[in-house]
Amino acid sequence: MSDTPYEPPAPRAPAVAPGRLPGPAAGPGCAALSSVVFDESLTSYDFGPGHPMHPVRVDLTMRLADSLGVLDRLRTVPAPVADDDLIRTVHDDDLVRAVTRLGHEGGVDLAHGLGSEDNPVFRGMHEATAHVVGASVEAFRQVWSGESLHSANVTGGLHHAMPGRASGFCVYNDVAVGIRHLLDLGATRVAYVDVDAHHGDGVQKVFWDDPRVLTISLHETGEMLFPGTGFAADTGGPDAEGTAVNVALPPGTSDAGWLRAFHAVVPPLLREWQPEVLVSQHGCDSHVEDPLTHLNLTVDGHRTTYQALHELAHEVAGGRWVVTGGGGYALVDVVPRSWSHLLAIMTGTPLEPSLATPQSWRDHVTRSLGRGGPLRMTDGRAPVWRDWTEGYDPATWLDRSVHATRTEVFPLHGLDPAAW
């Protein structure tokens, strides 16, 4: 596995022209054109015992995907380490210096968000996070160059990190660095969809006034959950009005409500935006068993969302799809299953929900963690939802939230919020 600094290639246009697809729209042909950027040392992004974001979730995901045969259908690409210049395309030099210093010397620097309960300092913190950034930028490069149609970094998705400070378990914002890299290579229309339970505030902040980047975040309302931001009226800066889209959902939202909100907002905006690349962040902390949030989705709801994003990538972006992980703190029962579904969907050969988890994987869970693992790849749900065309109910919090977002944003894209 490579630990060499990431060196961006010379700018070039994508191998596949926007709007054209080098293979079946969403079928098995995706397998030969899909990749995952990974090596085991990426699990060095580790805040220590007891921290909710334990890297065991990544290890278990890759082991499960491997035992299910998913990795056989994906090209595994070595993960480079981002150099400081690449990180500084988004982050202030002061932050990079502070992360590097504290990762070697220890200490606290709350002005830069370091040493807090959320973001405790750990040895080699800069190097570990630079590796995550490098892995994500490689996934972006894979897609832009045409070497991969879809590419994923499940260790990425650190969407809360701000230019000048760490935030919410996120030291550097690998997604923002990756999108910035796309822009530097010549992309002019990028769409970012964030389905983490928490608002994608860091990515939105970086591109708040950039008319080339559309950020869409569906999340539990900031009235109830960190980071307390991401409301319908937050629509972008003066030079980019309408490019920030926020759907703030009520606590208790389940598969049906989530999918109703998703389909009422995301597809029409992406169809209008017509991005050259679709980027998505797949935090699975919206699950009913997640210990940090108050949403009620299932693995089956996650799977349905991932399928919709895959289909949209092919419909609106010529199939070019960059995928990252994100939050998710039910480390054994949820994250490995949801992200294995995600990786399988990328190959064009989704896993059957009723599939049993392999005994060998469950045995590993028992040996390493002293507990059992889930028996099947499903939570036993078949998600259905009421389409927005069937009517808007102002008596429900969820519908009011969706309506508010459509009312604020759709006219800025030439769309009628009252029409489909």
Tens digit of each residue's pLDDT (9 = 90 or more) over 281-290 = 999 999 999 9
Average pLDDT over residues 338-351: 98
State how far the Cα of 20 lies from the Cα of 18, in Å rounded to an integer: 6
Q: 282 with 326: CB under 8 angstroms?
A: yes
Collapsed DSSP state (helix, strand, coil) of residue 241: coil
Average pLDDT over residues 150-165: 98
Residue 15's pLDDT band, with cuts at 50, 70 and 90, is very low
Domain chopping of the chain, boundaries:
5-413
Average pLDDT over residues 238-265: 98
Q: Is the peptide bond before 227 cis (omega within 30 degrees of 0)?
A: yes
Domain at 5-413, CATH homologous superfamily: Histone deacetylase domain (3.40.800.20)
Residue 26's pLDDT band, with cuts at 50, 70 and 90, is very low
Closest CA to 375 of 360, 356, 361: 356
- Segment 260-270, tens digit of pLDDT: 999 999 999 99
Residue 29's pLDDT band, with cuts at 50, 70 and 90, is low
State how far the Cα of 235 lies from the Cα of 241, in Å rounded to an integer: 6
Average pLDDT over residues 324-352: 98
State how far the Cα of 388 lies from the Cα of 224, in Å rounded to an integer: 25
Residue 117's pLDDT band, with cuts at 50, 70 and 90, is very high
For the chain, percent of residues with pLDDT exceeding 90: 92
Contacts of residue 52, Cβ cutoff 8 Å, sequence gap at least 6? 169, 291, 292, 329
- The pLDDT, as a whole number, for residue 419 is 81
Predicted confidence (pLDDT) at residue 205 exceeds the cutoff of 60: yes
Closest CA to 42 of 137, 135, 120, 176: 135
Average pLDDT over residues 326-352: 98
Predicted confidence (pLDDT) at residue 2 exceeds the cutoff of 60: no
